[in-house]
Amino acid sequence: MDNCIFCKLASGEIPTTKVYEDELCIASLDINPAAPGHTLIIPKAHHQDLTDNMDETLLGHLFSVAAIIGRRGKERLNADGFNVIQNNGTAAGQSVMHFHVHVIPRYENDGIFEFWKPTSPDAKELAVVAEKLS
């Protein structure tokens, strides 16, 4: 993809703060991190999002790399935990249209963000949605 910033980062055409690289992906620090060590796992092949023909081997690999980076955050940045976040579509917060996985080191009570406000649907409402998704 000619005009894709993450294709350029992954191929080395544009420099980035790389913390990991192998034949399938790079991991780079996010330029606007939610927390120190916020890392993006970026496949070298262009896929727009999770629904764009990503094979199981690549997906499994990217999440294995997310685990490596998450573990490094705990061992080397003293994080207490980490989030693995992957946005699909602008409605879901995706701003760069090249699949990527965020790994964000977390600390007890860091308060950096809250994902959702839990709701309380009744069994009937759950059943209606379940039927559509099944």
Which residues bind to ligand 5GP, rule: CB under 6 A? 5, 9, 16, 28, 30-32, 40, 87, 93-96
- Separation between Cα atoms, residue 104 and residue 36, nearest integer Å: 8
The site partner of 98 among ligand 5GP, Zn ion, none (C-beta below 5 to 8 Å per kind) is Zn ion
Nearest Cα to Cα of residue 69 among 79, 60, 54, 59:
79
The site partner of 94 among Zn ion, ligand 5GP, none (C-beta below 5 to 8 Å per kind) is ligand 5GP
* Residue whose CB is less far from ligand 5GP, 40 or 79: 40
3-class state of residue 67 by DSSP: helix
The site partner of 46 among Zn ion, ligand 5GP, none (C-beta below 5 to 8 Å per kind) is Zn ion
Check if 100 is active-site.
yes
| Angle in degrees, CA 121, 124, 128, rounded to 5 | 95
Binding-residue total with Zn ion (CB under 5 A): 6
What is the token pair recorded at 97? 């249209």
Annotated catalytic sites, by residue? 100
